[in-house]
Amino acid sequence: MAARRSADAKAGRLEAVQVRAMFDRVAGVYDLINTVMTAGLHHRWRERAVDFANVGPGDRVLDVATGTGDLAIELARRVSPGGEVVGSDFSEQMLTRARLKGAKAVPGSPPTDPPPSSGAGWSPSNGAVRSGPARLSFEWGDALELPYADDSFDAATVGFAARNFADLGRGLREMARVVRPGGRVVVLEMTTPTRPPLSLFYRVWFDRIVPLIGGLAGGLGRLRGRSASDPAEVTLAEAYTYLPNSVKRFHSPVALAAEMERAGCTDIGYVLMAGGIIAVHGATVGGVGTT
């Protein structure tokens, strides 16, 4: 089983249950390794993604596969005062860290997991805006079956997680479903550069250095008595082998734009950042009220 899992990680493919277990496993080192891998630039990329969401005070936004909550926190700053941000994820360990981080970054955020929002009694176009800071909450949710009503949000975002969707088209359709017509869907994701010298750097960094960092983090965890109790669990080294390889098999920016169009989005545009390693796509949800 371990050999099969290792091979799947190298191919950038894991089953949904393994992906969930992987993110539970890496949650404790996720922020640190992200900062090391990106030299801290991931925060700037998330800010650019929020620009694409085109949200403001009083808006309600969903951040899908929120992880430890960085994108949701930035969104909460943009929709304050009076707005609301819901961060959704299927990894309980990630959500635990997101709630702690969110409570510090946005005072008044709920420290525990409230029931999933249904959208009842709230409309993104009813003109009612709460006073005070934005509300930020984190809830369990499956990206392929979001527990929210149609047209419940002004925007939906996903950052560095769309490539982990077991069914990308279904995940994008779910994001479009819960956003009102005229609202925004934003996807922030890594992509594979094709031109040297950046393509060479990318291969060396992500094929060799990143898995090494994961292996060192795993070794440190074992020294601290935090080794996995279940031999079927994804190890940190396997996780950080899977993550860069999942980028290689993911859609090109052009193909991702086409998937967003099939999901019901219009006015799709994207920009490449960091020399072509990062892509942020923004689109409008079609339907009544769009032009």
**What is the SS3 string spanning the chain?**
CHHHHHHHHHCCCCCHHHHHHHHHHHHHHHHHHHHHHHCCCHHHHHHHHHHHHCCCCCCEEEEECCCCCHHHHHHHHHHCCCCEEEEEECCHHHHHHHHHHHHHHCCCCCCCCCCCCCCCCCCCCCCCCCCCCCEEEEEECECCECCCCCCCEEEEEEECCHHHCCCHHHHHHHHHHHEEEEEEEEEEEECCCCCCCHHHHHHHHHHHHHHHHHHHHHHHHHHCCCCCCCCCCCCHHHHHHHHHHHHHCCCCHHHHHHHHHHCCEEEEEEEEEHHHCEEEEEEEECCCCCC
Q: For the chain, give the mean pLDDT.
A: 81
Question: Quick one: fold of 42-115+131-191+250-285?
Answer: Rossmann fold (3.40.50)
Considering only 59-63, 93-97, 234-238, 276-280, which range has the smallest mean pLDDT? 234-238
* Percent of residues, the chain, with pLDDT higher than 90: 50
Given a cut of 50, is residue 224 above it in pLDDT?
no
pLDDT at 8: 43
* Tokens 């291969």, located at residue: 203
pLDDT in tens, 79-135: 999 999 999 999 999 999 999 999 998 876 655 444 444 443 344 444 455 567 899
Considering only 119-123, 179-183, 254-258, 285-289, which range has the smallest mean pLDDT? 119-123
pLDDT at 219: 53
pLDDT in tens, 36-70: 778 788 999 999 999 999 999 999 999 999 999 99
Given a cut of 80, is residue 168 above it in pLDDT?
yes
User: Domain residues of the chain, as ranges?
Assistant: 2-39+193-248, 42-115+131-191+250-285
CA atoms of 173 and 126, how far apart (whole Å) = 24
**Packing angle between helix 210-223 and helix 236-248, nearest 10 degrees?**
160
Asked whether the beta carbons of 69 and 101 are under 8 A apart, the reply is yes
pLDDT at 229: 47
pLDDT at 246: 79
| Residue partners of 224: CB distance under 8 A and separation at least 6 | none
Given a cut of 80, is residue 9 above it in pLDDT?
no
